[in-house]
Structure 1
Amino acid sequence: MPLTDIEIRNAKPREKPYKLGDSLGLFLLVKPSGGKLWRVKYRIHGREKALAIGVYPTVGLAEARRRRDDARQKVSDGLDPSIEKRRDKMRAQMQAATTFTAVAAEFCEKRKRDGTKGWAPATATRSEYLLSLLRGSIGHMPIADIQPIDILAAVRRIESKGQLESARRTLQLAGAVFRYAVATARIPSDPTRDLRGALTTPTVTHYGAIIEPKRVGELLRAIEGYDGQPLTKLAMQLAPHVFVRPGELRHAEWSEFDFEDELWTIPAAKTKMRKDHLVPLSRQAIAILKEAHALTGPKGYVFPSIRSWARPMSDNTINAGLRRLGYSSDEMTAHGFRAMASTLLNESGKWHPDAIERALAHGDSDRIRAAYHRGAHWKERVAMAQWWSDYLGELSEA
């Protein structure tokens, strides 16, 4: 006789498991623990088997009968419901592993470990952030199901907020993820390839930089009078002397510095060109670093976050310090110290352009030429580093 909801609700646990039969192979297994499990018996290829189809009360009587009927239909079609259930589970697992977000995460991990071409930490952080902007739109979708219209709608959502460059870069990164999916046999082609030109082209803007000697002196004096966080002041004081990329300065660790040899070795993993970059240190730079050493040395980051010394200073700290001094982003930025050094060193006429380029860690596509210049201009770079710091001192006192 078929079961009723009242019978099921009133079924009490016993010392041993027992069954309450319904109809057409459906039964409820009542466990000693009180759990009530739906099962359906079926016979296929001469063997009797049982399929688990849910737990009561999550799966009620009507739903259990519907699932029983589905299982019986599979048997009628020559399919084993137990095997099909395992296959469905595997398909769901594979689908979860091939959502856009999952493939993007896999792609980012590969790019971070990509040998000499691997992403620098700052690049990885920025790229992962931009790809995260797609989570709410295409992130949950299986990558094979994503169409060009889905991607276009997702990046236009970013564009509509006025973030034109972020939208453009996010589309580029999405394309890289799709091409990675092609290379790993998940999809046949990149659906972003036909979206070129679909977004508004952002106006190219350059980093704000002060390059007039008189204004450089004013800036240096302003930094000297900075009354905010001591580490922020020291970072702003050091930046013009070493003119490395802001991310390299923020991620600097004490283990990279050799005061005796007056040398800072930035490891390849932290540089844009994925090569070790050697920075000769002037007397002034070492004096600033020793002040910082008294605050944060001898291990870890030179300029740690004020919230946690396990993390480097925020990428906005120096810019925020410059804003506090009254300099707008159009006037001066953390990156602007590089343009300042490049402009004034070249205008001095004292140094070979290749020595200046090497000091700025700009790449050279010719490996033989690059190796030659690295050796040929080292002594000149050491002399240039001290001259530059002395010149900055003259400007700040003018």
Structure 2
Amino acid sequence: MALTDIAIRNAKAGDKAIKLADGGGMFLLVTPAGGKLWRLKYRVDGREKLLSIGTYPEISLSEARKRRDQARELLAQGQDPSREKRRAKVRAKAEAENTFKALAGEFCTKRKKDGQKAWAPATAKRCEYLLSLLDGSIGKLPVGDIEPADILAAIRKIEGKGNLESARRTLQLASMVFRYAVATARLASDPTRDLRGALTAPTVTHYGAITDASRVGELLRAIDGYEGMGSAKIALQLAPHVFVRPGELRHAIWEEFDLEAAVWTIPAEKTKMRKPHHVPLSKQAVGILREALPLSGPTGYVFPSVRTRARPMSENTLNAGLRRLGYTSEEMTAHGFRAMASTLLNESGKWSPDAIERALAHGDADKVRAAYHRGAHWKERVEMAQWWSDHLDALRKGADVLPFKGRSVHG
């Protein structure tokens, strides 16, 4: 006989557990302590099993019957309701743990250890910061529950503050996190895939750079007269000679330099292309470094922070120095020394484009060509480094700037 709510409420506990049947294998177990528990008895492969459905009155009679029917549907499909219940618990626990913030942290940890493709420290710091901007909006949500509208609303907050490039990059990073979740079987698809084009495109700006020969001389003379912090002046003096990326210059340590051999070897983890980069040093570059040696050497950062030698100088130091010299960010930046060298070296016609590209440590989409470049052009680059420093000295002294004549045998 089927149970009723009145019969269940009136059921009293006894010295032993009492079973009140409702039909279809389900019964209410009344314990000696007075608890009322729903149970379903069923068979799988000839073995009798018991499924816990819940506690009355938290699970009402009608809800218990609904769950019984669902369990019997699973049985009809050849599935064990108890096993499926355990799987559902595991999935629910995993979903609760797989929040966007947790997966973003896991993804960043992976990218920092990703072999040759690993993020440089500065890149990792920037990416982790941008992803942290999403903590307050979608950070605590399981990735499986995040909808495109949730992401767009979160990114629009960044965009609304005028940070268009940060908004674009944050959306790009969020997509990487979701694709990582897909790759690790914790998400079916990337919810950002349909959001392309939803954000306002930032205006592309180029690094300010002086590429006019006569103005280069003015800049070099201004740097020589710089009255700021000693290491900043030396870094500004060295930058045009080596024209590496500002981050590589700031993070340079003495152990990377062989002043006798006149070579600076930047390790792979510090370069944008994740390959070691060898920089031939001119006599002038070696001389500048020897001036810096008693200030910060013989170990540790060549250009340490003013606060502690345990950290490199701030990423704003060189640009701030250029501002103090009167150059706006549109005129000249620390990164602009690269464009300066690239422009004037190419205009000279004395050096092969491949040697100049290798000196700038640019990547090459052609893997065969890139592999060839690793060992090529070194002799030419050594000669080019010395010519370039000599040319900078001539410009600094205010020599007449004459048109470059012809190409050398290096071309």
Cα deviation code 1:65-93 (max 9, x no counterpart)? xxxx97874799699xxxxxx99998886
Q: Which 4+ stretches in 1 moved above 3 angstroms? A: 43-50, 69-79, 86-97
Cα displacement (A) at 1:336:
0.4
Counterpart for residue 293 of structure 1: 293
**Distance in structure 2 (CA, Å) of the matches to 1:395 and 1:280:** 21
Counterpart for residue 121 of structure 1: 121
**Distance in structure 1 (CA, Å) of the matches to 2:351 and 2:164:** 39
**Distance in structure 1 (CA, Å) of the matches to 2:189 and 2:32:** 45
**Distance in structure 2 (CA, Å) of the matches to 1:75 and 1:261:** 84
Counterpart for residue 305 of structure 2: 305
**Distance in structure 2 (CA, Å) of the matches to 1:309 and 1:204:** 36
Q: How many residues align?
A: 335
**Distance in structure 1 (CA, Å) of the matches to 2:220 and 2:112:** 37
| 3-state SS in 2 of match to 1:346 | helix
**Distance in structure 1 (CA, Å) of the matches to 2:134 and 2:34:** 45
Spell out the pairing of 1:237-386 with structure 2 (5 A cutoff).
237-386=237-386
Cα displacement (A) at 1:337:
0.4
CA contact (8 A) 1:268 1:275 kept: yes
CA contact (8 A) 1:101 1:139 kept: yes
Spell out the pairing of 1:198-213 with structure 2 (5 A cutoff).
198-213=198-213
**Distance in structure 2 (CA, Å) of the matches to 1:355 and 1:47:** 88
CA contact (8 A) 1:221 1:396 kept: yes
* Paired letter, 1:248: E
* Paired letter, 1:190: D
Distance 1:372 1:91, change over 3 A: closer
* Paired letter, 1:210: I
Cα displacement (A) at 1:185:
1.2
TM-score, normalisation: structure 2:
0.75
**Distance in structure 2 (CA, Å) of the matches to 1:278 and 1:143:** 43
Cα displacement (A) at 1:368:
2.8
Counterpart for residue 168 of structure 1: 168
**Distance in structure 2 (CA, Å) of the matches to 1:375 and 1:172:** 35
**Distance in structure 1 (CA, Å) of the matches to 2:273 and 2:282:** 24
Distance 1:198 1:44, change over 3 A: same
Counterpart for residue 4 of structure 2: none
| 3-state SS in 1 of match to 2:265 | strand
Counterpart for residue 220 of structure 2: 220
Moved more, 243-252 or 361-370: 361-370
* Paired letter, 1:201: A
Cα deviation code 1:88-123 (max 9, x no counterpart)? 998886455311111111111111111111112222
CA contact (8 A) 1:209 1:332 kept: yes
Moved more, 363-372 or 315-324: 363-372
Cα deviation code 1:164-197 (max 9, x no counterpart)? 1111111111111110011111111100000000
* Paired letter, 2:270: K
| 3-state SS in 2 of match to 1:199 | coil
Cα displacement (A) at 1:352:
0.6
CA contact (8 A) 1:220 1:396 kept: yes
Query: Which structure has the bigger radius of gyration?
Result: 2
Counterpart for residue 25 of structure 2: none
**Distance in structure 1 (CA, Å) of the matches to 2:207 and 2:186:** 40
CA contact (8 A) 1:254 1:297 kept: yes
* Paired letter, 2:368: I
CA contact (8 A) 1:242 1:285 kept: yes
Counterpart for residue 8 of structure 1: none
When the two chains are superposed, the root-mean-square deviation of aligned CA atoms in Å is 2.9
| 3-state SS in 2 of match to 1:265 | strand
**Distance in structure 1 (CA, Å) of the matches to 2:149 and 2:60:** 40
Cα displacement (A) at 1:374:
3.2
Cα displacement (A) at 1:135:
1.4
**Distance in structure 1 (CA, Å) of the matches to 2:113 and 2:154:** 28
Distance 1:265 1:48, change over 3 A: farther
Counterpart for residue 151 of structure 1: 151
CA contact (8 A) 1:155 1:170 kept: yes
* Paired letter, 2:319: N
Moved more, 375-384 or 301-310: 301-310
Counterpart for residue 133 of structure 2: 133
Cα displacement (A) at 1:216:
0.6
Percent of pairs identical after alignment? 70
**Distance in structure 1 (CA, Å) of the matches to 2:220 and 2:97:** 53
**Distance in structure 1 (CA, Å) of the matches to 2:225 and 2:33:** 86
TM-score, normalisation: structure 1:
0.78
Distance 1:93 1:228, change over 3 A: farther
**Distance in structure 2 (CA, Å) of the matches to 1:306 and 1:89:** 55
Distance 1:45 1:331, change over 3 A: farther
CA contact (8 A) 1:44 1:75 kept: no
Moved more, 138-147 or 356-365: 138-147
Segments of 5+ residues of structure 1 without an aligned counterpart are 1-23, 25-42, 51-68, 80-85
**Distance in structure 2 (CA, Å) of the matches to 1:278 and 1:170:** 33
Distance 1:260 1:91, change over 3 A: same
**Distance in structure 1 (CA, Å) of the matches to 2:272 and 2:134:** 26
Cα deviation code 1:40-72 (max 9, x no counterpart)? xxx97989899xxxxxxxxxxxxxxxxxx9787
CA contact (8 A) 2:95 2:144 kept: no
Cα deviation code 1:110-147 (max 9, x no counterpart)? 11111111112222122112111111211122211111
